[in-house]
Amino acid sequence: MFANLKIGQRIISLIVIQAIILLFVGLISIYGLRTGTESTLELDKAVNASARLNYVMEPIRTDFPELVNDLSKGTLGWQDAVTKLDLVESDFEDNWNIFIDSLSAVDLEFAGHVLTPYREDIKQAVTRLRAIIDTQDDAGLQTFVSHEVKPATMMFVSNVQASIAEQDLRSNNILVESQRREKSILIITIVAFIAGIFVSSVLGILIYQSIAAPIGVISETVRKVSGGDISARAGLVGHDELSSLGRTLDELLSDKMATLDQSARENRILNDSIINLLRAVSLLSQRDLTIYLPVTEDVTGPLADAINKLTRDTSAVLTKVTDVAERVGLASEQVDSKANFVKSVAMTQQQDLAKTAQELAQASVELNNIVAAANNCNRIAGQADKSTQTAASTVTDTLRGMNTIRETINEAGKRIKRLGERSQEIGTVVDLIKDVAERTHVLALNSSVQAAAAGEAGRGFAVIAEEVQRLAENAKRATAEISSLVKNIQIETNDTMTTMDRTIGYVVEGSRLAETAGQQMQETQQITGTLVAAVREIAANTEKQAGISSQLQERAQSINRSTQDTTRELDEQLDQTRSLTDFCKQLISSVKIFKLQPA
C-alpha cells in the first residue's frame, strides 16, 4: 500500500489526513452554529410578531369594551369618554402601524386578507361610538352596547388570536426543526470525530507496519542465510529506502549463489543427457525409428546426433522401399486389370471369327447355287431367243392377213353404199305414187260432192267416186308402207356402213400394233442376246468368287487358332502378375514392423 511512498511522505500524508478530518469537523460545527443563529432569528421574528399582535389586539379586546361599558353604566362621562376613545384609537392605530411595518411582503398580503377587512369593522364601530358620544345619545348607546360592540370586535379579536396562534405554531415548528437539525449536526460531528480518530489510528498503524515489516523481512532473511538456507531472499518491492536495502541484499546473495548453481546445473544436464541416450537406444531395440534425441552441448551431443542421423536415414530408406513396393503393387494390379480386359477382347474376337467362318462357308454354298442358277438362266435365255424369232415371223404373217381383211372390208363397204343409193331411188318413185294417190283422193272427193248435187241422177256416179276414193286410200297406204320399208333399209345400210368403218379402224389399229410388236420382238431379241452374254459373265465371276470364299474360310480358321494361343498366354501372364502383387504385399508388411518417422 505504501511501497511507492518514501517514509517521510507517509508521515506527511498522515498529518494531512488528520488536518482534513479536523477541517471537516470544524465546518460542520460552523454550519450548526449558523443554522442555530438563523433559527433563533426566525424564532425571534415569530415571538415579536406575537407580541405586536397582542399590542394590536389589547386595546380592542379590553380597553374599547371597557370604555363602552363604563359609558353605559354612567361611571364615565361623555367628555372623558371622548378623551379615552381618542386614546384607545391612537393606541390601536400606532400598534397596527408598528405591526404592519414589521411584516414581510407575503405576510403583509396575508394580513390584508384576514385582518384588514375586520379592522374596517373596528374603525366603523369607533366612528359610530364617537357619533353617539357627540350627540350624547343614550338610546343609541344602549343599542350599540347590546348589538354592535361584540360583532364588530369579535371577528377582529378572534382573527388576531388566530394569527397569534399561528405565530406560536410557527415558533413551535422552528423550535422543533432547530432541535432536529441540532441533533443531526451533533450526530454528524460525533460520527466524523470518531471516524477521524479511527482513520488516523488505522493509518498510523498501517504506516508503522509499512516501516516495521520490511525491517523484519530483511533481518529474517539474514538469519536464514546464516543458518544455512542459501535460497532465502528478502523479495521486497517498492521505491522506499527499506525496499532498496532489501534488493541490494538480494543481489548480493544471488551473486554468491550463482556459481554454485552453475556447476549443479551442468551435472544435472549431463545426467539427463545420458538417461535420454539410454531411453533412445531402448526404443531403437524395439524398432521405433521415430525417436529424436535432443542434441545437447555436452559430451553426449555428437553421440545423440549420430543416433539421430542413423534412425533418420534408415527410416528414409524403409519409407522409400515401402513406397516402391506400393507402386509395384499398384502397377501389377493395373497390368492384371489390362490383361483381363485383353483376355475378354480375345474371347469376343474368337467368337466373332468362328461366326465369320461359318458365314463364309454358307456364302460359298450360296455362290455355287448362284452359278447353277446362272447356267440355267443361260439356257432359258437361248430358248427365249428362239421363241422371240418364231414370234417375229408370226407377227409378220398376221400383218399380212390384216391387210387382206382390210381390203375385203373396203370392197363390201362400197357395195353396201351402192345398195343405199338404190334405196333412195325407190323412195323417189314412191313419192311420185304418193302424189298420184293424193290427187286421186281429191278427185274422188270432188266427184262425191258433184254426185250429191246431181241427186238421184248422180247416184251411180257417186258409187264410182267412192270406189275411186277407196282405191286412192289403198294406194296411199301402200306407198306409206313402201316408204317405211325403204327408210328401214337406209337405216340398216347406214348402220352397216358405220360398223364397216369401225371394223376398218380396228383392222388398221391391229396392223399398227402388229408392226409395233414386230419391232419390239426384234428389240427383245437383241436384249435377250445381251442378257445371255451377261448371265454367262456372272456365272464365270461367281465361280471365281466361290473359290476366294473358300480361301477366306481357311484364313479365318487360322486366325481362330492364333487367338486361342493368345488367350492361353494371357492366362499365364495373369497368374504371374498376381504372384508379383502378393510379393509386394509381403514386402510392405515386412517393412511395417519398423516405426518410421513421418515423411
Partner 1 sequence: MLRNTIIAIAIMTLPPAVSAARLSDQQITQMLQDKIRVVQHMALNPLLVKAVRRQNAQSLDDATIAQRDREWQSSGDDDPLKRSLQSGDHAAVMRRFVEQDPALSGALLADNRGANVATYRLVDDYWQGDEAEWERAYNEGQVYVSPIQLDEKTGTVSTYVAAPVLDRSKTIGVLLVGVNLGAFR
Cell of 202: 488505522
Positive or negative torsion for Cα 490, 491, 497, 500: negative
Q: Is 288 helix (H, G, I), strand (E, B) or coil?
A: strand
> How many CB atoms neighbour CB 455 within 10 A?
8
Residue 162 beta carbon to partner 1: minimum distance, rounded to whole angstroms: 4
Q: Is 103 helix (H, G, I), strand (E, B) or coil?
A: coil
Taking Cα atoms as reference points, which of 97, 80, 83, 155 lies closest to residue 124?
155
Contacts of 431 (CB under 8 A, 6+ apart): 483
The nearer residue to partner 1, 160 or 532, going by C-beta atoms, is 160
Helix axes 149-226, 105-114, angle to 10 degrees: 150
Cell of 192: 466524523
The nearer residue to partner 1, 82 or 154, going by C-beta atoms, is 154
What does the angle CA 74 – CA 80 – CA 82 come to, to the nearest 5 degrees? 110
CA 337 to chain centre: 47
The nearer residue to partner 1, 11 or 155, going by C-beta atoms, is 155
Tell me the backbone φ, ψ of residue 593, rounded to 5 degrees: -65, -20
Residue count of the chain: 599
CA 122 to chain centre: 98
The nearer residue to partner 1, 154 or 392, going by C-beta atoms, is 154
Residue 160 beta carbon to partner 1: minimum distance, rounded to whole angstroms: 10
Cell of 176: 422543533
Cell of 357: 467362318
| Strand runs labelled E in 201-340 | none
How far, in Å, CA of 11 to CA of 2, rounded? 11
Residue 108 beta carbon to partner 1: minimum distance, rounded to whole angstroms: 13
The nearer residue to partner 1, 167 or 511, going by C-beta atoms, is 167
**DSSP letters spanning 520-562:** HHHHHHHHHHHHHHHHHHHHHHHHHHHHHHHHHHHHHHHHHHH
Residue 141 beta carbon to partner 1: minimum distance, rounded to whole angstroms: 23
Residue 63 beta carbon to partner 1: minimum distance, rounded to whole angstroms: 19
Tell me the backbone φ, ψ of residue 595, rounded to 5 degrees: -90, 110
Residues that bind partner 1 (CB under 8 A): 110, 113-114, 117-118, 151, 154-155, 158-159, 161-163, 165-166, 169, 172
Residue 6 beta carbon to partner 1: minimum distance, rounded to whole angstroms: 53
Contacts of 346 (CB under 8 A, 6+ apart): 563, 566, 567, 570
What is the DSSP code (8-state) at residue 81?
H
Residue 455, amino acid: G
The nearer residue to partner 1, 18 or 102, going by C-beta atoms, is 102
Residue 164 beta carbon to partner 1: minimum distance, rounded to whole angstroms: 9
Q: Is 595 helix (H, G, I), strand (E, B) or coil?
A: strand
How far, in Å, CA of 463 to CA of 222, rounded? 218
Residue 151 beta carbon to partner 1: minimum distance, rounded to whole angstroms: 7
The nearer residue to partner 1, 14 or 155, going by C-beta atoms, is 155
Residue 27 beta carbon to partner 1: minimum distance, rounded to whole angstroms: 26
The nearer residue to partner 1, 162 or 187, going by C-beta atoms, is 162
The nearer residue to partner 1, 127 or 172, going by C-beta atoms, is 172
The nearer residue to partner 1, 154 or 232, going by C-beta atoms, is 154
The nearer residue to partner 1, 171 or 315, going by C-beta atoms, is 171
Residue 157 beta carbon to partner 1: minimum distance, rounded to whole angstroms: 9
Residue 175 beta carbon to partner 1: minimum distance, rounded to whole angstroms: 11
